[in-house]
Structure 1
Amino acid sequence: MLCCERRSFACSMSGLIPFSEVQSKPKRQKVKHLDNMARRDRVVHLLRQLEKAACSCPAHSHKFYRASGHDCGRKTDYAFEMASSNIRYGEGVTQEIGMDLQNMGAQNVCLMTDNNLSQLPPVKAVLESLIKNGVNYKVYDNVRVEPTDSSFKDAIAFAKKETFDVYVAVGGGSVMDTCKAANLYASHPEADFLDFVNAPIGKGKPVIGALKPLIAVPTTAGTGSETTGVAIFDYEKLKAKTGIANRAIKPTLGIVDPLHTLHMPERVAANSGFDVLCHALESYTALPYNMRSPCPPNPMSRPAYQGSNPISDVWSRHALNIVAKYMKRAVNNADDVEARSSMHLASVFAGIGFGNAGVHLCHGMSYPIAGNVKTYMAKGYNVEHPVVPHGLSVVLTSPAVFAFTASMCPDRHLEAAEILGGHVKNTKRADAGLLLADTLRQFLYDLKVDDGLSAIGYTKNDIPDLVRGTIPQERVTKLSPREHTEEDLTNLFEASLKLY
């Protein structure tokens, strides 16, 4: 930076106006208004000289930010960027939300949740705080568990009917993602729905206009959506999940109150935890950021999911350690406040990790698994439609996926296996994938996970559809550390039909 500052200083010194003239006042003031005009002309001239000769480094050059793009001189990226919501954590911290909204000067708040949660303590706690602090609000409680493009559009229509100045999401990932979308499209009323949806399904346009503040109150310990600029939904036309990924839609504040997780049924706690597990594993083993292509022509073009990097690694690894220590306790005992609180924090940690590094094959393959659901009714979910919970759809392919990817970064796979309880002593690097796969199978067996894709209604005949649904998910699949073909995806789905 000092070097750049010296260059800019030298550029100004090499202009047509001597340093002494710039620093000292005119000695004569015969005609004051003419003198002022002359000085203004000199300042304008100096600024023009500075602009022509200014340092071209990104930290100081205004031209860099005005330019539509530049050539970074390489095919892969050379930088990564960290972004996350502000997070407030503590037992009972939900009571502060009314004060937050009052501090923001909120005049009309949109509170989004789902039908089931609207009758439970987390939403009641939020409403009590709003009423106590005199906050005006309207409630939308029709969020769909595992949202679709249709359910997103319904929430968007609600948001557009009013002039909301702050949004509040109380619920799991479905609620938070729906609220993000409602805020985005209500703030861009002229936009077509597919404008911001990830390419190649949507147009993947950048979000340029400002959004309203959004406060997220997560009630599950899994998605990490309170930290990320990602909103996922089922695109019904393709029977596959896709989403919107842009830092602009991340919540302003995540209020993480571990008391809310005590209300999760056992299977909800398990499936939410599996999402944390895979967020941590996938982001830690993702393609490194400096191997991801293309190199963005402009910082605005750098994707939210950038590949593994030294900062995300810290969050992902720490989340994995917490999962290993507390997840089984949290699932098996709803009254274990320490375990459930720890998993709530692990969800945040993993969210910060994957929200910047990204995920890869487990998530990419999970989208058609959830989108093509037939008759499977998940236990513990108060819904009237078939549903494969997100965390379950992700984790069912994890043994096959990590056996496949391990050859590209075996040390990381071995480390993950060791954290999860695998015996790595004397294990060869070439066997890292098999060890991690076996460790995951035991972990899933202990937590009573359905025995593979066949147990949730899929057969070998469904695999071509599952592969076709995975191919468009290049936003995440391109971050796999190992390149893959349609044949590879077919083999991975086949290997996931049975786990044990």
Structure 2
Amino acid sequence: MTDQTLVSLEPVRSVLESLTQNQVQFTVYDRVRVEPTDASFKEAISFAKAGLFDAFVAVGGGSVIDTCKAANLYASHPDNDFLDFVNAPIGKGLPVTGKVRPLIAVPTTAGTGSETTGVAIFDYEPLKAKTGIASREIRPLLGIVDPLHTLSMPSRVAANSGFDVLCHALESYTALPYHQRSPCPPHPQLRPAYQGSNPISDVWAVHALRVVAKYFKRAVRDPEDLEARSAMHLASVFAGIGFGNAGVHLCHGMSYPITGNVKTYRAQGYNVEHPLVPHGLSVVLTSPAVFNFTSSMCPERHLEAAEILGADVSGVRRSDAGRVLSDTLRTLLWELQVEDGLQALGYSSEDVPALVQGTLPQERVTKLSPRSHTQDDLEELFHQSLKLY
């Protein structure tokens, strides 16, 4: 599985050559939608069910890998309805009890870390909000991380992919600690994929942050910088392992309606015919407001993140941790020429109620925020994110 841009590029060509040389029969599905929807998931699922395939290979970014996860899952469970495995409250959130086929993921972007996670995200068009499927059973059997595949990423794609890495690391490191998450599931099979921050995920998150701080701007500014592109590709894997266990929180929860309610905005560097807010961009635009809001619950972690990202925190009071991290993020966005907030994507204060309503069903992630929040809090965070500079 791949998309219509990648199908003619080197990452897919090298995979097809390998399959052919080793006499493996295969069929190519190249109709994956960038930022997939329930409709595009269902189209891929129908294709997978009809093909009766033994295994799957996903070559692409998170959209491709997530679509392939869903196709594999439902082809392996042909009697289940689509909403059975979709996260509650939109779907039933049933546990996956059966086995799926082997899936090999070959990421071509340095962002989602989807090759490491048991999560598949899509736009649920009836509600104009993102949701997903979360189960350890759909995690790829193997991820092949080749930095040469990322050299074809345009600069803006590298930037938006990198913002996803950044927020994966920041959110998982500042998420509600695992021992404070409640209620406890009555059975291990019902345990969610996202456990809250924990000693293992912390290691991956901090390491990913350090790599981002060193190589992110280089990877965006020079597509031929193989060292930087390689480092960011690995950072994506590191952050994926971290958030794949700990989870993310408000930046991601608020990002889903930002992409789902897009009107006319089309991001640079993406060969698509439909309006598109790339996932990483939708996540990072709220990050200055979000981390200023959450900092009071774990100021030391917010200060540590700010210091890793280059801020001078000597003598900074704990009460100022949120401001320092927020300013650090805002400076990074400015240096990487990111649009000036949600207004630049076509949103206004009149859209905030709809954005809040699209965030409310995202409890799978928003409940991992270290600071509890109300609907009024979400409204204020969206208002603060309309303009960044």
Report the TM-score when normalising by structure 2: 1.00
Q: Give 1:381 deviation, angstroms.
A: 0.1
Provide the rounded CA distance (Å) in 1 between the counterparts of 2:345 and 2:241: 31
Shift of 1:125: 0.5
The corresponding residue for 2:271 is 382
After the TM superposition, which residues 97-136 of structure 1 pair with which residues of structure 2 at under 5 Å, given as runs? 112-136=1-25
Distance 1:311 1:489 in 2: 30
Look up the equivalent residue of 2:90 and give its one-letter code.
I
Question: 1:297, CA displacement in angstroms?
Answer: 1.3
Amino acid of the structure 1 residue aligned with 2:123: D
AA of the residue aligned to 1:281: L
Alignment of 1:360 onto 2:249: yes
Deviations for 1:136-162, whole angstroms, at most 9, x for unmatched residues?
000100000000000000000000111
Question: How far 1:163 sits from its partner (Å)?
Answer: 1.3
Aligned to 2:293: 404
- Alpha-carbon distance in structure 2 between the residues aligned to 1:340 and 1:159: 33
The structure 2 residue matched to 1:351, chosen from 240, 243, 247, is 240
**Structure 1 position 460 matched with structure 2 position 349:** yes
**CA drift at 1:301:** 1.3
**1:331 and 2:220 equivalent?**
yes
C-alpha deviation, 1:423, in angstroms: 1.1
Q: Does structure 1 residue 260 correspond to structure 2 residue 260? A: no
SS at 2:143's partner residue?
A: strand
State the alpha-carbon separation in 2 of the partners of residues 146 and 470 from structure 1: 17
User: What are the residue-to-residue correspondences of 1:32-431 with 2, within 5 Å?
Assistant: 112-431=1-320
The amino acid across from 2:230 in the alignment is S
Q: Equivalent residue of 2:109, what SS?
A: coil
Consecutive unaligned residues in structure 2, runs of 5 or more: none
- Please report how far the alpha carbon of residue 302 of structure 1 lies from its aligned counterpart in structure 2 after TM superposition: 1.1
CA RMSD across the alignment: 0.3
How many angstroms apart in 1 are the aligned matches of 2:262 and 2:124? 13
Q: Deviations over 1:283-316 (max 9, x none)?
A: 0000000000011211111110010000000000
The letter of the residue matching 1:186 is A
Measured after TM superposition, the shift of residue 458 of structure 1 is 0.1
Note the alpha carbon deviations across 1:394-430, whole angstroms, 9 max, x for none: 0000000000000000000000000001110000000
- SS of the aligned residue for 1:242 comes to strand
Gapped regions of structure 1 (runs ≥ 5): 1-111
Q: Which amino acid aligns with 2:298?
A: C
Per the alignment, residue 492 of structure 1 pairs with 381
- Counterparts of 1:296 and 1:236 in 2: how far apart (Å)? 30
Separation in 2 of the partners of 1:444 and 1:158?
Answer: 40
Separation of aligned partners in 2, 1:305 and 1:317: 18
Identity of aligned residues (%): 76
SS in structure 2 opposite 1:256?
coil
Give the secondary-structure state (helix, strand or coil) at the position aligned to 1:139. Answer: coil
Q: Distance in 2 between matches of 1:396 and 1:218?
A: 24
Q: Write out per-residue CA displacement over residues 191-243 of structure 1, whole angstroms, 9 at most, x where no aligned residue.
A: 00000000000000000011000000000000000000000000000000000
- Report what 1:9 is aligned to: none
Q: 1:81: which partner in 2?
A: none
SS of residue in 2 equivalent to 1:200: coil
In structure 1, what is the Cα distance between the partners aligned to 2:44 and 2:370? 37
**SS in structure 1 at match of 2:122:** strand
Name the CA distance, whole Å, in 1 between partners of 2:142 and 2:11.
17
Amino acid at match of 1:354: F
Question: Partner letter of residue 139 of structure 2?
Answer: K
Look at both structures and tell me which one has the larger radius of gyration over its CA atoms. Answer: 1
Q: State the AA in 1 paired with 2:274.
A: H
1:476 is aligned with what amino acid?
Answer: V
- Rounded Cα–Cα distance in structure 2 between residues aligned with 1:432 and 1:270: 25
**Paired letter, 1:496:** S
Give the whole-Å Cα distance in 2 for the aligned partners of 1:446 and 1:392: 14
- Cα distance in 2 for residues equivalent to 1:172 and 1:421: 29
- What is the aligned length? 389
TM-score (norm 1): 0.78
Partner of 1:140, secondary structure, is coil
Distance 2:163 2:328 in 1: 14
Which deviations, in whole Å up to 9, do the C-alpha atoms of 1:33-81 show, x marking residues without a partner?
Answer: xxxxxxxxxxxxxxxxxxxxxxxxxxxxxxxxxxxxxxxxxxxxxxxxx
Equivalent-residue separation in structure 2 for 1:275 and 1:176 (angstroms)? 15
- Matched residues in 1 for 2:142 and 2:344: separation? 39
Which whole-Å CA distance do the structure 1 matches of 2:354 and 2:57 have between them? Answer: 37
